[in-house]
Structure 1
């Protein structure tokens, strides 16, 4: 009886803790990331595939790999863009039916799947989890990374993304996408699905209504019609005995099909696209192009640029000189020299294209154009481009028909032999002239020395008196915030005579110092909150030290009795509200995009780049002013709240303007810099659409609240309605709208930081689909 009980317990232990024979993985089974993780994973029945922790450097990733004597090949990874996990991390199929990756400390747990009753690692490389009805609740085939395996399909909208390298399984630089239109296309990663970025396609547009999918089985790789399961196109097929196939998008951007004679054989490449590695766009990065060196790709920088890092040439190149300033809208062509190259072609979209019959005209037009960095001439067409350049390639067929010009810095010519002779002859006379001048200067110095002490004393005494006499804008104000008396500011504004504007907390008047030579703007606060004299002065001193091109400079203040006044630099072109809501001539699309970036950079400086973080509390178009060059600058720090260097939240009474207030102002909870981000989101949407967030006089009821209408247009794919008939860049419009919707999220924690906002606006980081705004 005892022996039977012991046998039963051993059987239970094997079932719940092991998967040695590739059978069903039961609840309670777990793996630990350590040196044994690759020798004790969850195997398939044939021991050909394994699921578990695979090493990546000194860390581990949850992966599926092909096990054979030739090489170990990772074919799938979980969370490829997340950092690898540390040793002793646990992968467990819990008794609650969840497959969980958890650290040793129990922090940052990741649930891969739920409602699981059992799991199995299949012989085709698919890891499948079932519920208690044996229905599939999760399988790795639904979440492909860089590879396809036997029996796997790639449906419309899905894509494979290459790994960084053979030992780094994070997302790399290339992707192959099965598009909804039925076409299978390869692109560089982080690009639009457009013709300019594609470097290979299956060319199956005519089947765009059939919902094609890519399928890999034991006879090869093919494109299938989703409506009737007919084969549209064979990429590779064989009539030989059944073999094992694997299709992988490599880190070099080439899609290859491998086969294995058996589980212990090394893979053999039987098909690949593209055939030439240099046809892969972005293989060499920005400002460079690819050439073949012994059939291997080698990167070359364009003229006027050098490699960012010689050890990683595929990172691209950067300009190796500083551009000169433009003169009257035209390039300083004496500063530049145009270098010509044959056999280069740029496959990106130019910013300018025109018919030009002579190559010299194309070259000279780029030389005189401030924006132009390179020009490409072919078939009587001249195309101009700005740096950075992408998708430049070498053309080997008829290279002389492709001519390109690159703007580089002019090299000063060496002196000719005639110049040298003239310099030699003149040098003999020079020392005599120097001697005479030195004697005269010495005599003059001796005569004037007797008067020096007297004049120096008088001059310094006079200068000191002028500094005491004048309290105007000068060097002192560049170093410290100026404190003015009420009498001085009343005189400077001629008794607060010329009003520039008004807000909820005061009016702004035009004034001047130094006999009208320096124009200022004085804000007289009328509804000042009850703050102590010491706190008001301390906050003004801190705000006065802010220096940024997108902040209106606070020059001084007055705190005398009940009077509170703020002195700002004068902004000649009014407010953003005037330009958006009241001007006959609205800013064009590129100007509005630049204004959005200017405001975001100003807020980023206040939040993250000041020694003392500042919450503005009243971001709105009326507080964004335009200088002489139409640069947007944030103003009105009368409501700003300072944080300590190590402080992220604070309590304060409600500050700001209705319509731009974040929801947390009404909840009596601590506020953070996220209130400014909410206000910026509203301002961003208003800037995009040139209308107020709340507009009653509209043709459709759903357009009354701009933020709600913007989300509906985004959800329906009708963003063009937001800008009417104006011609705008739709990709930029979508990016700005998504940023605005994320900024006005009801929960402060889900709003991006201002640094993330700037990166998203510049198109550097990708933007997830925003949720529907609730509070607006």
Structure 2
């Protein structure tokens, strides 16, 4: 019995010793496995400088990335990760509890907690063991110690010292700093030997014309074509030619390789950068960029069939580190608020149809002026010789024109949407005139989301203030019209008996309160006080009693009972009557509240200011449901602002209101609801 116990504990000790060796000595035998979890064990290189295992994603700590990283520096910089073979193939992120196993017949196999396969290493032959090298290369070997798979042969966005890129191989950028899906930029040594930087038309694999190339494709002499990209042990990166000559890609490194880590990365913004990092850092020293390609990506990357470094309708400018910074011009906002390098969309609609109110282009549009800015691939007409005033006037009266570039004193370049390859460059020597809608153009309302923890520290206000608040907080005249338009749907007497309207089944189905002609006649005192006239009838002021309170109403009396008119009117009532959104029908505060701060005393002014400043989250405060759908909140508020315009001709019909609320009709950027007050 004692012998059995001794053998049992001996086996446990040997297994533990073997496991520790596998984690710290670089050698991993088949049957070994890793589990996705916080601070889970990883397979280390002999020196411990590199680790192979699972890293949690920054934006979701429940998802993990199978990767290789520098393990002795605080940043834990990732240099390789398991990835698909095409832009459409998603990066296999692993949920917590997923498992990576090393098998003889399949190599590395990654499965989720349910046992479904997420990724595997493509191998030829069988695997005997794996090894994590101090170079950062993770290799699978067969029983003859021949390589059957290696991470250096399947690179992602980074190349390390001692690594090479053969013809046809490439580095693909990430989608963003924290999104490891395949991005828009690529470094590739093409099969003809030309080393290029290109943009990719995602989600396809189509590469645009290069924005940088070494021109080593051997057109004139095949011996001068590129053979392989070499990153040597000293941190020197060059292109090895067929004739054994070297084409330097970086300047020679002056620091010692024994004291620094090196890497070269195809960044998500299109810049290929070589970095260095001290191995023994006593301070806050991190990765330092000492070489980049191209020198100015904003100017280098414009090609005719691409949006450029930034998205469409965006502008690229360099920051102090020669990295691109993308921004939308005034009057435009990001399509995806989470993608700062993505495309922008105009906050207004420009059409070639008549305005309908008799306003001229000069009344509708103005210009935002930017110096040394251009979108060089979006021209559709050149006017020369031309004055600046003539250039401005020509674009104003051209419904296709979005921007004009006036340069060289007499050249007028007209451009149409989408604007591509936008950039700022002192060599442009001209000005861009961006046509925008007149009035206060608000910034992108999705650029800012509230910090809920900080919001809780603010004083408690009433619950939700949204469209209903703004709608019911307008002028007194508008309140009459609005209540009448919904045909007493929201404020009505439920306890009175009603006389049904013959043939009005569709309205009855909405479970709305119906009124007889006599009741409406009494409510309006014989249709005495006229509020206004519409296309099909006159609107009168009236009152009804509701739970002991007198409520002002507006009643629309049709001129003639034409079938189509009646049908249209009933349809409007039915649509509005079926709307039960709490934010639309409940007003949580008065239109004027002198107990609030001065900036919030007038509900309509406060709501419009919040909209223009992009802080609509202050209207909904702690309502998580609303905060999770700020696009809908913004649409509702925009509709409300249109409805409370002081100029009656600008207010939409109730049919259009319902269409805008439902998202059927696009909501244009509303002007200030009280332009005269704003001027004062």
Farther-moved stretch of structure 1 (371-380 vs 130-139)? 371-380
Distance 2:344 2:118 in 1: 40
Residue 56 of structure 2 corresponds to residue 77 of structure 1: no
Note if contact 1:183-1:202 (Cα within 8 Å) is conserved in structure 2. Answer: yes
Distance 1:26 1:230 in 2: 41
Note if contact 2:163-2:231 (Cα within 8 Å) is conserved in structure 1. Answer: yes
Residue 321 of structure 1 corresponds to 348
The alpha-carbon distance between structure 1 residues 5 and 34, as it changes in their structure 2 partners (threshold 3 A), is closer
Distance 1:71 1:315 in 2: 27
- Specify which structure has the bigger relative contact order, considering alpha-carbon pairs within 8 angstroms and separated by 6 or more residues: 2
The alpha-carbon distance between structure 1 residues 297 and 148, as it changes in their structure 2 partners (threshold 3 A), is closer
Residue 384 of structure 2 corresponds to residue 373 of structure 1: no
Distance 2:167 2:80 in 1: 20
Note if contact 2:45-2:51 (Cα within 8 Å) is conserved in structure 1. Answer: yes
The structure 1 residue matched to 2:430, chosen from 393, 396, 402, is 402
Residue 120 of structure 2 corresponds to residue 111 of structure 1: yes
Distance 1:125 1:374 in 2: 50
Residue 91 of structure 1 corresponds to 100
The alpha-carbon distance between structure 1 residues 107 and 241, as it changes in their structure 2 partners (threshold 3 A), is closer
Residue 312 of structure 2 corresponds to 286
Question: Which runs of 5 or more structure 1 residues have no equivalent in the other structure?
Answer: 413-436, 446-455, 468-473, 480-776
The alpha-carbon distance between structure 1 residues 23 and 70, as it changes in their structure 2 partners (threshold 3 A), is closer
Note if contact 2:51-2:132 (Cα within 8 Å) is conserved in structure 1. Answer: yes
Question: For each residue in 1:401-433, what CA deviation from the matched residue of structure 2 results, as whole angstroms up to 9, or x when unmatched?
Answer: 323333333569xxxxxxxxxxxxxxxxxxxxx
Tell me the secondary structure at the aligned position of residue 20 of structure 1. Answer: helix
Residue 272 of structure 1 corresponds to 292
Deviation of 1:174 after TM superposition, in Å, equals 3.5
The structure 1 residue matched to 2:332, chosen from 291, 297, 305, is 305
Distance 2:333 2:139 in 1: 49
The structure 2 residue matched to 1:65, chosen from 41, 62, 69, is 69
Residue 185 of structure 2 corresponds to residue 174 of structure 1: yes
Deviation of 1:333 after TM superposition, in Å, equals 4.6
Residue 170 of structure 2 corresponds to 159
Q: Any residues of structure 2 matched to 1:636-651 within 5 Å, and which?
A: none
Residue 247 of structure 2 corresponds to residue 232 of structure 1: yes
Residue 241 of structure 2 corresponds to residue 215 of structure 1: no
Tell me the secondary structure at the aligned position of residue 269 of structure 1. Answer: strand
Note if contact 1:47-1:67 (Cα within 8 Å) is conserved in structure 2. Answer: yes
Residue 372 of structure 2 corresponds to residue 357 of structure 1: no
Deviation of 1:165 after TM superposition, in Å, equals 4.8
The structure 2 residue matched to 1:21, chosen from 19, 24, 29, is 24
Farther-moved stretch of structure 1 (96-105 vs 360-369)? 360-369
Tell me the secondary structure at the aligned position of residue 225 of structure 1. Answer: strand
Note if contact 1:346-1:390 (Cα within 8 Å) is conserved in structure 2. Answer: no
Note if contact 2:217-2:226 (Cα within 8 Å) is conserved in structure 1. Answer: no
The alpha-carbon distance between structure 1 residues 69 and 12, as it changes in their structure 2 partners (threshold 3 A), is same
Distance 2:219 2:250 in 1: 16
Tell me the secondary structure at the aligned position of residue 152 of structure 2. Answer: helix
Tell me the secondary structure at the aligned position of residue 65 of structure 1. Answer: strand
Question: Which runs of 5 or more structure 2 residues have no equivalent in the other structure?
Answer: 85-89, 302-307, 441-528, 539-556, 572-680
Tell me the secondary structure at the aligned position of residue 25 of structure 1. Answer: strand
For the aligned residue pairs, the C-alpha RMSD in angstroms reads 4.3
The alpha-carbon distance between structure 1 residues 226 and 311, as it changes in their structure 2 partners (threshold 3 A), is closer
Residue 41 of structure 1 corresponds to 42
Matched length: 419
Tell me the secondary structure at the aligned position of residue 106 of structure 1. Answer: coil
Residue 741 of structure 1 corresponds to none
Residue 100 of structure 1 corresponds to 109
Note if contact 1:64-1:76 (Cα within 8 Å) is conserved in structure 2. Answer: yes
The alpha-carbon distance between structure 1 residues 335 and 325, as it changes in their structure 2 partners (threshold 3 A), is farther
Note if contact 2:315-2:421 (Cα within 8 Å) is conserved in structure 1. Answer: yes
Distance 1:411 1:89 in 2: 55
Distance 1:183 1:65 in 2: 30
Distance 2:219 2:245 in 1: 11
Residue 701 of structure 1 corresponds to none
The alpha-carbon distance between structure 1 residues 223 and 362, as it changes in their structure 2 partners (threshold 3 A), is farther
Tell me the secondary structure at the aligned position of residue 27 of structure 2. Answer: coil
Note if contact 1:325-1:332 (Cα within 8 Å) is conserved in structure 2. Answer: no
The alpha-carbon distance between structure 1 residues 168 and 327, as it changes in their structure 2 partners (threshold 3 A), is closer
Deviation of 1:139 after TM superposition, in Å, equals 1.0
Residue 272 of structure 2 corresponds to 255
Residue 675 of structure 1 corresponds to none
The alpha-carbon distance between structure 1 residues 327 and 221, as it changes in their structure 2 partners (threshold 3 A), is farther
Deviation of 1:321 after TM superposition, in Å, equals 1.2
Deviation of 1:102 after TM superposition, in Å, equals 0.8
Distance 2:163 2:48 in 1: 19
Distance 2:264 2:134 in 1: 16
The alpha-carbon distance between structure 1 residues 107 and 297, as it changes in their structure 2 partners (threshold 3 A), is closer
Deviation of 1:178 after TM superposition, in Å, equals 3.0
Note if contact 1:70-1:264 (Cα within 8 Å) is conserved in structure 2. Answer: no
The alpha-carbon distance between structure 1 residues 311 and 156, as it changes in their structure 2 partners (threshold 3 A), is same
The alpha-carbon distance between structure 1 residues 403 and 264, as it changes in their structure 2 partners (threshold 3 A), is closer
Q: Any residues of structure 2 matched to 1:498-509 within 5 Å, and which?
A: none
Deviation of 1:368 after TM superposition, in Å, equals 4.4
Deviation of 1:130 after TM superposition, in Å, equals 1.8
Note if contact 2:199-2:208 (Cα within 8 Å) is conserved in structure 1. Answer: no
Question: For each residue in 1:80-139, what CA deviation from the matched residue of structure 2 results, as whole angstroms up to 9, or x when unmatched?
Answer: 732521111000012534311011111244322343222111111111112233322211
The alpha-carbon distance between structure 1 residues 306 and 223, as it changes in their structure 2 partners (threshold 3 A), is same
Deviation of 1:274 after TM superposition, in Å, equals 4.1
The alpha-carbon distance between structure 1 residues 134 and 313, as it changes in their structure 2 partners (threshold 3 A), is closer
Distance 1:213 1:378 in 2: 44
Farther-moved stretch of structure 1 (349-358 vs 116-125)? 349-358
Tell me the secondary structure at the aligned position of residue 387 of structure 1. Answer: coil
The alpha-carbon distance between structure 1 residues 311 and 89, as it changes in their structure 2 partners (threshold 3 A), is closer
User: What TM-score comes out, normalization by structure 1 length?
Assistant: 0.47
Deviation of 1:345 after TM superposition, in Å, equals 4.2
Deviation of 1:69 after TM superposition, in Å, equals 3.8
User: What TM-score comes out, normalization by structure 2 length?
Assistant: 0.53
Question: For each residue in 1:444-473, what CA deviation from the matched residue of structure 2 results, as whole angstroms up to 9, or x when unmatched?
Answer: x9xxxxxxxxxx9xx98xx99xx9xxxxxx
Note if contact 2:100-2:111 (Cα within 8 Å) is conserved in structure 1. Answer: yes
Deviation of 1:353 after TM superposition, in Å, equals 4.6
Deviation of 1:373 after TM superposition, in Å, equals 1.8
Deviation of 1:65 after TM superposition, in Å, equals 0.4
Deviation of 1:320 after TM superposition, in Å, equals 1.6
Distance 1:223 1:294 in 2: 26
Instruction: Name the one with the larger helix percent.
Output: 1
Residue 149 of structure 2 corresponds to residue 138 of structure 1: yes
The alpha-carbon distance between structure 1 residues 306 and 382, as it changes in their structure 2 partners (threshold 3 A), is same
